[in-house]
Structure 1
């Protein structure tokens, strides 16, 4: 598979747990996982429907869900169902993908919607990063 031309790089407070959750909830496939000497995720890569997402862990990082608890501006923009600073992923079967995410406890920001460019839904991951899944 050729290397994707764009690779999102996301930070998490608990990177290993986030990787495990993304695999379970969104069906991503683990490509690489490197832990540091303390067992924290130094570098992770997930394959995603022909693309890739990189992850890392930073103990001082505060994901969107934690940040909004003390920041009124973040709380305001996260009160919309839109994908803000998020990732779009093309999927083959949006209905099956939605059901998998729902069963894993994803924060569903919308149901499945029909748009001029395909069928989609929006979700938050375990630390509040936002994702849009689109079947064109």
Structure 2
């Protein structure tokens, strides 16, 4: 598998895992003594399949250890594009989520609906409204 395919699978896998676990607000990651991990990416669905792909990405898959925030949003400028924004307590938690059977199943279901990816950025979230610490 090419590096590009691996990154695409990682983004889809992360997209398949919608879980807002835990409670309590997180201030800056530095204040918690940890470095959070974030991803922001734009996924392009096969024409006419954006809603079906979004549905797969939004299905609850149970507790995702370390997932602090997960948002799938329609791109108002492209009828086939989705933006996925994630925050994790660590890069390791994100990597571990990709090995879960539910995430692997979502990858298999979603892959045929993906035409491509045109943007992907890793971030270090510092905190914010609505960001919760995983329990």
Band of TM-score, shorter chain: under 0.3
Higher relative contact order (CA 8 A, sep 6+): 2
The TM-score normalised by the length of structure 2 is: 0.27
Higher strand share: 1
Higher helix share: 2
The TM-score normalised by the length of structure 1 is: 0.27
